[in-house]
Structure 1
């Protein structure tokens, strides 16, 4: 079976320029301030780096700003908190599966974290329950975590239950960590808001939403679509109805705006992904939001 992590790394290089990847790596590093004075190597300067870390001699030789990287004095903990219910087996905005986008996002940030020597673990769950997978900092370990997500997310999986997964994290995760929450479009009700406030006091949280497919037809003739959550079909004639399409657009825009505002009020940086090609720039934007919010 082909390596999921190799697929992630290949797509990172395919969809993003080297400069963008450096920006993402620098953005991730900039949210962690603890380090030792053990020199590791040099990399290109990115916004958010400390000016004092610039190696001026190397900069003069290469003609562009280069900064020193150091070996972390203590490992950080990145926990991939993944919705693995059947919602994530549905189609995303781009026509790709939400699962593929979620694996790409988790794999990309997990890979960068592991390169920094940080420990990456996984908490995944659905309506049937939640399971935690131990931390590690090797590519082989990250491959194992991605395979667990790939195995769990199917059209036959139980329904999604992000509140249940986050409740497990609130009870079971004692060490302060950075949580990368990956889920689909959802509304944040009062109960989920209270849970997130509790988690926000315990951990750092960044949030990725994998966008839903467009249920309405914009041109031509529609086909029936299948709702994986409710196990039902949306008939083609409804998808072609202009009045319903306008109402759908208003409702979808309202929910996305409400969710973003609720997360912002909770102090949680968030980003919405529509495709695998949007993962690297989306993660960089997310890290920048989180870094600025922590100032």
Structure 2
């Protein structure tokens, strides 16, 4: 086995072990309480018992038998969960322990194992400036490990980001209601209309991934910055407090713009950083959403 393949296998196993532990201890129950399934489906009829709601009485069966019977319903639990993962060139960046793409793989592992534990199906769409991979939703451990492996080993053809195209593709391929996680650093523009449509048709959650060096420049003298997606290069004197301030102000404005856009469309956001424990970010999201649903 090649050294690269061994490293990939080791990383997949690490995510597998970590995800199982976190799902067992933290996320499994949280997932089920937040994503409750698509509705209720008929199960059976049984004789009326004191305390049953009158509106559940099955009048046809009651008329035939001469005894009151009620309809019993159960939650239609099974549903599909889709990951839309941005694998553009900027995702390969990481100044902390992990790149943004590695964080995306871990997030998908945690959420996918939570999904299959609750008998849900999981699918994947990888995109750059075009959709490059589609994996239909399925169940089972092997399927989840395949999704993690695909994200970790994926070598994209494109370098840019086109969120609008990925959302259009989702709309063509997935006609039923599903839970959709859009995972990206959102270094893109002109996708507001598609985002609004997707939020209307699906339970859409945005996971925004950023790296500390994208948000704040250190004092490191002359630094050549390169936009991984466009190839544009600029020379910045990071020893200049004014230059650092301009960079930090622009980065903050971009983050606030994304946050305001998602809030305006009532799309939940999970803000994740490569230098922070994203398990806590997921747990915080699940608990906040569960509290909101019980109000």
TM-score of the superposed pair, with normalisation by structure 2: 0.75
* 4+ aligned runs moved over 6 Å, structure 1: none
Give the structure 2 partner of residue 209 of structure 1: 208
Aligned length: 253
Instruction: List runs of 5+ in structure 1 lacking aligned partners.
Output: 37-70
Judging changes above 3 Å, is the alpha-carbon distance between structure 1 residues 10 and 139 closer, same or farther for their aligned structure 2 residues? Answer: same
> Structure 1 residues 164, 174: closer, same or farther in 2, change over 3 A?
same
Residues 21 and 280, structure 1, Cα contact 8 Å, conserved in 2:
no
Inter-CA distance 72–135: structure 2 relative to 1 (3 Å threshold): farther
2:59 is aligned to none
In structure 2, C-alpha distance between the alignment counterparts of 1:180 and 1:144, rounded to whole Å: 18
Contact 1:95 1:213 in 2 (8 A): no
Q: Does the CA-based 8 Å contact 1:208-1:270 persist in structure 2?
A: yes
Partner of 1:77: 80
Query: How far apart are 1:240 and its partner, in Å?
Result: 3.0
Closer/same/farther in 2, CA of residues 260 and 272 from structure 1, 3 Å limit: same
Unaligned runs of at least 5 residues, structure 2: 42-73
Residues 220 and 238, structure 2, Cα contact 8 Å, conserved in 1: no
Determine helix, strand or coil for the equivalent of 1:224.
Answer: strand
Counterpart Cα distance in 1 of 2:97 and 2:253: 22
Question: In structure 2, what is the equivalent of residue 103 of structure 1?
Answer: 105
- The alpha carbon displacement at 1:222 in A equals 5.5
Indicate how the Cα distance of structure 1 residues 153 and 103 shifts in structure 2: closer, same or farther if over 3 A, else same.
farther
For 1:41-80, what aligned pairs fall within 5 Å after superposition?
73-80=76-83
TM-score (norm: length of structure 1): 0.75
Instruction: Report if the CA contact (8 A) 2:211-2:274 is conserved.
Output: no
Larger gyration radius, structure 1 or structure 2: 2
CA RMSD of aligned residues (A): 3.0
Q: Secondary structure at the match of 1:114?
A: helix
CA distance in 2, matches of 1:259, 1:245: 22
| Correspondence for 2:218 | 218
Q: RCO greater where, 1 or 2, for CA within 8 Å and sep 6 or more?
A: 1
1:264, distance to aligned residue in structure 2 (A): 1.4
Contact 1:207 1:271 in 2 (8 A): yes
